[in-house]
Amino acid sequence: MKYFLDSAKMDEIKEAYETFGIDGVTTNPKHIMLSGKPFMTAIKDMADWANEQGFKDYNDFPISVEVNPHLDDADEMIKMAREISALSKCFVIKIPCTEAGCTAARKLEKEGIRTNLTLVFSPAQALFAGKYGCKFVSPFIGWKEQNGEDCKQYIQDIVDIYANFGFIGETEIICAAIRSPKQFVDCAVAGADCVTAGLQVYKDAMHHAFTDQGMKTFQDAWDNTAGN
């Protein structure tokens, strides 16, 4: 399963790459705002860093960048997608799962600009990404579970549908807005291709209180071993 960092902050991206070996980055307008930088500066900084790392394109290290969320016309989304995509071969264009968005995603994929269909909340919506050959589909998990919905079956249904129609490997499933280690496990058990989460969730997933307790036990044993 691929691990993506959901952030547009360069310090977080560098730490997550160094510590957790993340496979890519996803952003959205909220993350760009939280970076404190103007949109173009934030995405150019990510493009420069990816270039410095020697990543050639989205196969090496995909960075999802979302179009202006105010756009509600497919042609306008396509125009902005082309502008973003010209800045880095690592960029994948995040397009919302609306009628205009799906039209734009279908056309962009036909011209070779890779897309990530986002704001997906149902298996029916996820099917469109597979049909149109989007590079990624982003079903949101955290938002639904915060709303009291258990997402295990939701993730499983998307994985099964993708297997039924040969979309596996063509359109990668990014379980998005992951908020807890338990959600990581649910996605892994269902066979989702990728997860995207904030830095703290990766830290939480690597941590267990028994590991700390075990370290203390072994340190005490080491200190009390004859000759140490």
Q: Does 6 bind ligand E4P (CB under 6 A)?
A: yes
Q: By C-beta, is 33 or 215 nearer to ligand E4P?
A: 33
The residue among 164 and 200 lying less far from ligand E4P, judged by its C-beta, is: 200
Q: Is 176 in the site for ligand E4P (CB under 6 A)?
A: yes
**Minimum separation from the CB atom of position 142 to ligand E4P (A):** 6
For CA atoms 106, 98, 115, 161, the dihedral sign is negative
Contact call for residue 115 and ligand E4P (CB under 6 A) = no
Among residues 94, 110, 182, 216, which one is catalytic?
A: 94
Judge whether 3 and 195 are in contact, CB under 8 Å: yes
In the bound state with ligand E4P, the residue whose beta carbon lies nearer, of 65 and 104, is: 65
Does residue 94 have an active-site annotation? yes
Residue 113: closest CA among 92, 87, 88, 90: 92
Least CB distance from residue 30 to ligand E4P, whole Å?
5
Bridge partners of 120, per DSSP, are: 139
- Among the listed ranges 24-32, 69-77, 80-88, 164-172, the one in contact with ligand E4P (CB under 6 A) is 24-32
32 counts as binding ligand E4P under rule CB under 6 A: no
With CB under 6 A as the contact rule, the residue among 35, 85, 138, 171 that binds ligand E4P is: 138
How many other C-beta atoms can be found within 10 angstroms of the C-beta atom of residue 98? 16
| Between 181 and 225, CB nearer to ligand E4P | 181
Among 5, 16, 28, 108, binds ligand E4P (CB under 6 A): 28
Q: How far from 50 is each of 10, 56, 61, 80, 153, CA to CA, in Å?
A: 11, 8, 8, 21, 35
> CB burial class (10 A; 0-12, 13-18, 19+) of residue 133?
middle
Nearer Cβ to ligand E4P, position 30 or 207? Answer: 30
Structure tokens, 140: 């949101």
- C-beta atoms surrounding 152 within 10 Å: 16
| Residues in 181-200 at the binding interface with ligand E4P, rule: CB under 6 A | 196
Measured distance CA(61)–CA(98) in Å, rounded? 26
Separation between Cα atoms, residue 134 and residue 89, nearest integer Å? 16
Q: Which residues are catalytic?
A: 94
Q: Could you list the residues that contact ligand E4P (CB under 6 A)? A: 6, 26, 28, 30, 118, 138, 142, 176-177, 196
